[in-house]
Amino acid sequence: MFTKQTIKDIDLEGKTVLLRADYNVPISNGIILDDFRISQSLPTVKFLLSKNVKLIICSHLGRPDGVKNDIDSLFPVAKKLQYFLKQPVQFVPDCLSDEVPKIITKMVPGSVLLLENLRFYAEEEQNNEEFARHLASYADIFVQDGFGVVHRAHASTSAVTHFLPSVAGLLLEKEVDTISNVMENPQRPLMAIIGGAKIADKIDILHRFIEIADVVAIGGAMANTFLASQGVKIGKSLYDEKELPIARDVIRKAGSQVKKRDFKFILPFDVVVSKEISNTQPTRIVDLKTHSYAEINNYPKRPPLNSFHILNDDIVLDVGPFSGSFIAGNIQFCKTVIWNGTMGVTEVDSLLGSVGPYSHGTDLIVKAMVGEFGNTPFSVVGGGDTVSYVTSHKLLDCFDLVSTGGGASLELMAGRRLPGVEALLNKNV
């Protein structure tokens, strides 16, 4: 259960509210390429406006490192928010000028003001008290709804709570509550599917899932490092040599869990390779004759096949059809599935259809999770590339939770405390 006060627990009527949202969205030439995070904030925004508040929204965008620039301006977000709300959204091109209080004084209840990028000020990431005090001076109440930033102790997530009554928005409540529940009290069997590039980014959740999940499946570029750690030649595929000892440690831990209980640890046993990342290059499926899955799970190794090896100039770009089908098959026996990280290079489009040349493994997982093969588990999806794949295929409504937070969701799954959540008022206060 979510233990912090939310916007439903306090009197908001007629107040001035400072809302921290996460509008860190991809923008190119002033055009928002993915408005997922903006759309997910709308229930909180609309609830606040229904209480006749003056609503001041702040957010960051990109990594400007304290330097103002046109590329990282939130002005396009103001226009998109105005489109969603079907009402004017005023935009002010800074956060600290004397004009901001004057604009707020003239605002009428039910109106919206979006401040410029918080990270145009170095004080934001420094968790500067004076910067936070200045922001707090604009409002009566602070609402934290930027789940994607609550794992950071910044001025707009931590210090600002020292100066205002601070509660959670509806999105933050939903994300923290859902993720906490699936980690602490999941319907079993529980399966975790982990992709992405670097093991180090997800080492903590890998260890935790090996301890609590019934099935853990590995894909994406990090699978290359696991395979290389077991002596598989992976050509010129992306992997991190420094992470080989980490991969071996994870595999050893997985093997020990197999001996203790009914647990599976799945590494790819076939892969899709090509000479370069392109939708016009031929691809080839390679059956990996020696792989660690059988050894980890105490299964007999498959007999040698007359398959090609991964050649020196090959790049592994997706899990193979047997691995994808095996992972999808395991999903059929699970009641809860947590998925973070695609199985291949899904950003390459197809020339012929909706599934890209290196997206077939990911596509199989999606079909299994949404019930196309029969079972429909409770599903939690996170990670930037994963969410991008889901949104681009218009599948947002097919999962129980599609998280807006990358690092925050990983920290929460790993069992760490989130500074931006810890700073909020408890329900018993």
> For position 383, what pLDDT does the model report?
87
| 237 assigned to some structural domain | yes
| 7 assigned to some structural domain | no
SS3 state at 384:
helix
Q: Which residues, in sequence order, are CB contacts of 19 under 8 Å at separation 6+?
A: 44, 45, 48, 55, 56, 57, 58, 143, 145, 169
Say if residue 363 is in the same domain as residue 224. yes
In this structure, what CATH number is given to the domain that contains residue 361?
Answer: 3.40.50.1260
CA distance 323 to 344: 12
Bridge partners for 361 per DSSP: none
| 427 assigned to some structural domain | no
Say if residue 115 is in the same domain as residue 35. yes
Say if residue 250 is in the same domain as residue 379. yes
Say if residue 154 is in the same domain as residue 209. no
Question: Global pTM?
Answer: 0.91
Q: What is the pLDDT of residues 120-152, one digit of tens each?
A: 999 999 999 999 999 999 999 999 999 999 999
Q: Are strands 54-58 and 31-32 parallel, antiparallel or unpaired?
A: unpaired
Whether 407 is catalytic is: yes
Whether 384 is catalytic is: yes
| 81 assigned to some structural domain | yes
- Using left for φ > 0, alpha for ψ between -120 and 50, and beta otherwise, residue 124 falls in alpha
Whether 80 is catalytic is: no
Provide the token pair at 63.
Answer: 């990594």
Identified catalytic residue from 37, 54, 202, 264: 37
Say if residue 359 is in the same domain as residue 243. yes
Whether 146 is catalytic is: no
Say if residue 125 is in the same domain as residue 214. no
> For position 300, what pLDDT does the model report?
58
Say if residue 336 is in the same domain as residue 235. yes
Q: Residue 280: what residue type?
A: T
Sign of the alpha-carbon torsion through 304, 306, 312, 315: negative
| 1 assigned to some structural domain | no
| 413 assigned to some structural domain | no
Say if residue 326 is in the same domain as residue 266. yes
> For position 196, what pLDDT does the model report?
84
Q: Would you give per-residue pLDDT tens digits along the chain (429 residues)? A: 799 999 999 999 999 999 999 999 999 999 999 999 999 999 999 999 999 999 999 999 999 999 999 999 999 999 999 999 999 999 999 999 999 999 999 999 999 999 999 999 999 999 999 999 999 999 999 999 999 999 999 999 999 999 999 999 999 999 999 999 999 999 999 999 999 888 888 999 999 999 999 999 999 999 999 999 988 999 999 888 899 999 999 999 999 998 999 999 999 999 999 999 988 899 999 988 655 555 666 655 554 444 558 899 999 999 999 999 999 999 999 999 999 999 999 988 877 777 889 999 999 999 999 999 999 999 999 988 899 999 988 999 999 999 998 889 999 999 999 999 999 999 975
Say if residue 313 is in the same domain as residue 167. no
| 62 assigned to some structural domain | yes
Q: Which domain holds residue 384?
A: 180-402
Say if residue 102 is in the same domain as residue 53. yes
Provide the token pair at 412.
Answer: 């929460």
| 410 assigned to some structural domain | no
CA distance 253 to 247: 10
Identified catalytic residue from 51, 68, 133, 198: 198
Number of domains in the chain: 2
DSSP result, 42-100: HHHHHHHHHTT-EEEEE---S--TT---STT-SHHHHHHHHHHHTS-EEEES-SSSTHH
Cα–Cα separations (whole angstroms), residue 241 to 202, 234, 252, 323, 409: 16, 12, 18, 24, 27
CA distance 58 to 146: 10
- The count of other CB atoms within 10 Å of the CB of residue 381 is 24
Give 375's Cβ-side CA count (13 Å radius). 17
Say if residue 80 is in the same domain as residue 149. yes
CA distance 307 to 220: 22
SS3 state at 280:
coil
Say if residue 283 is in the same domain as residue 307. yes
- The count of other CB atoms within 10 Å of the CB of residue 282 is 9
> For position 304, what pLDDT does the model report?
47
